[in-house]
Amino acid sequence: MSGISMMWPDTTVPSTDYLVVDAAAVTDLNIDRIITAIVAQDEFQLRSWFSQPVRDPDTVRYRQEIFADLANDSVREVFDAFAAGMRSMRKRLTWQDRLHHPYQRQWWQLSAAAEYLDTVTRFAEALSELPLTSRALTRWREFMGAYLTGPGFDRLSAAVRPVQQALGEVRYSVRIVDRTLEVAPADIAPDYSAAIANLFSRFGVGAPRPPRPRSEWDDLNHMEEQILDHVAALHPHTLAQLTEFAHSHEQFADTDVMRFDREIQFYLTYLSFVRQVSGTTRAMCLPRLASHGEQIHAEDAFDVALLTRCGRSEAEVVCNDLRLSGPERVLVVTGPNQGGKTTFARMVGQLVYFAALGCPVPARRACLPLADRLFTHFEHAEQATDPDGRLAEELLRIRDTLEAATTDSVVVLNESFSATSTADAVRIGRDVLDQLVERGSIAVWVTFFEELARTEPATVSMVAATDPDDPAQRTFRIERRPADGHAHAVALAERFGLTYDFVTARIAACK
């Protein structure tokens, strides 16, 4: 059995099964920042996988099954141990490439092969005891059992172990004569080190300082290389075995095992990230995939990107709920500035994106759509090189979005059309909203124009709440309720310096 992938139910997936997300959406939703935090140094080149969400339900469920298995700590520890052993093997091979003495290079190749044998053996034995249920990992367990008893693994073991044993039995003596070192067969003369140390201890001389223990990663100096050459002359058969092994086993690791080692990192790396961002007050879950007409919801969801910023504390990340049921398709989010509206919109986009990767999403419970396209329409700064101005650029972008959007698409809009007058923005917004509803797309629209939060079956009004005792204090909670009619007025007052505090301060300054 071979060709088992941890990423796909089959070996390949056609390109038409990918969720379409353009570069602007990746940036608008801070997904690029999240992926960078997940992959870190990207030792395994995982960014390409995290940048390719899919829309094939079977692929998503295939990956969710693996995540569900690895959610068990005892299961994940076995896979973590395998990954650590394989990382040690690769480190040995990388170190080998930096060395120039042939026997030293050959020894590191042997050491890497031995590490591979031990790692694979321990892994296969541990797999047989694990409570696995996913299609991928149960098939992989069968593969590992067959591989461990197969001829290829036996041949490698038969090649490695005798050379290891022979090298372990090599003995020699080194004698310093004036300025020269003499390497000879091991003698049986007693070691007088302890006796001499005991003799001098009566004169108040302390025990000799032990030499610095050598690390296996220490390189040989020129003198040690000469000693090694002399030892090879004393034990030609043993060193010839080492050379023969190195020449005949340049590629000793099985290609399927190496592929698995990389693919399983998609899961282990993401789960490590989950442990970092979940904290004590948040949870991440594997969402159910919503079928057409099924309620879409997320409980205690949050914006993961907030937790990738330096200095961001757990208390500053507020969880929110969302729900679309029956004919509801559009969430219209209003409320005061800096109240968490844009964060809420980004959160929705992130939920859709990571659900399409088959990964746990930032919510305690969720049922999410598997979208075909994920669009964003965020307010961008006007470019001096744009002859038509910001409003024309926004209209062109929304036109392209509406032309491509389908009933399976998700659109996230943030403060769109604020570059024009209120009347024009509301009129344009209503036309766009009508077309989104007509297409049946799921949308989240953050806006100051509360006229868009109209009461009709397809739209839901949500409001960024403030502290009832101090309306200037934001709670960052996004509540499902009718717009209160004050958000745009407050925003205008803040923009033009006409808030109560500002005006009273100006009056006091003029007295």
For 122-165, what is each residue's pLDDT tens digit? 999 999 999 999 999 999 999 999 999 999 999 999 999 999 99
pLDDT in tens, 264-287: 999 999 999 999 888 777 899 999
19-40 per-position pLDDT tens digit: 999 999 999 999 999 999 999 8
Please give the pLDDT value at position 199: 74
pLDDT reported for residue 507: 80
User: Burial code of 15-46, b = ≥16 C-beta within 10 A, e = fewer?
Assistant: eebbbebeeebbebbbbbbbbebbbeeeebeb
**pLDDT confidence tier of residue 85, bands split at 50, 70 and 90:** very high
Which residue reads 């290389």 in tokens? 225
Q: Average pLDDT, stretch 387-411?
A: 88
Q: pLDDT value at position 314?
A: 57
CA 361, CA 352: separation in Å to the nearest integer?
9
pLDDT at 232 over 80: yes
pLDDT computed for residue 91 by the predictor: 94
Give residue 258's pLDDT.
Answer: 96
User: How far is residue 266 CA from its own chain's centroid?
Assistant: 7
45: left (phi over 0), alpha (psi -120 to 50) or beta: left
Q: Is the pTM of this model over 0.85?
A: yes
**Strand ranges inside 130-179, DSSP E:** 172-177
- Closest by CA position to 344, among listed 465, 224, 492: 465
Torsion sign over Cα 423, 424, 430, 433: negative
Q: Which domains does the chain have, with CATH numbers?
A: 54-170+235-278 (no CATH), 283-510 (3.40.50.300)
Count the residues in the chain.
Answer: 511
509, pLDDT greater than 90: no
Sheet with 330-334, side-by-side order of all strands: 20-21, 373-378, 410-414, 442-446, 330-334, 459-467, 470-480
Per-residue pLDDT, averaged over 326-348, amounts to: 93
Provide the pLDDT for residue 210.
Answer: 67
Residue 408: per-residue pLDDT: 95
Give the pLDDT score at 52: 94
Q: What pLDDT is recorded for position 432?
A: 93
**Section 36-51 average pLDDT:** 94
pLDDT of residue 381: 61
pLDDT tier at 338 (50, 70, 90 boundaries)? confident
The pLDDT assigned to 212 comes to 64
The whole-number average pLDDT for the span 324-330 is 95
Q: Minimum mean pLDDT among 339-353, 408-422, 480-494: which range?
A: 480-494
- What integer best gives the mean pLDDT of the chain? 88
Percent of the chain with pLDDT over 70: 89
Q: Of the spans 4-13, 379-388, 427-436, which averages the highest pLDDT? A: 427-436
Comparing 119 with 3, the larger pLDDT belongs to: 119
Name the nearest CA neighbour of 347 among 253, 476, 252, 447. Answer: 476
Closest CA to 352 of 408, 391, 306: 408
Phi, psi of 6 (to 5 degrees): -85, -10
Give the mean pLDDT of 214-239: 84
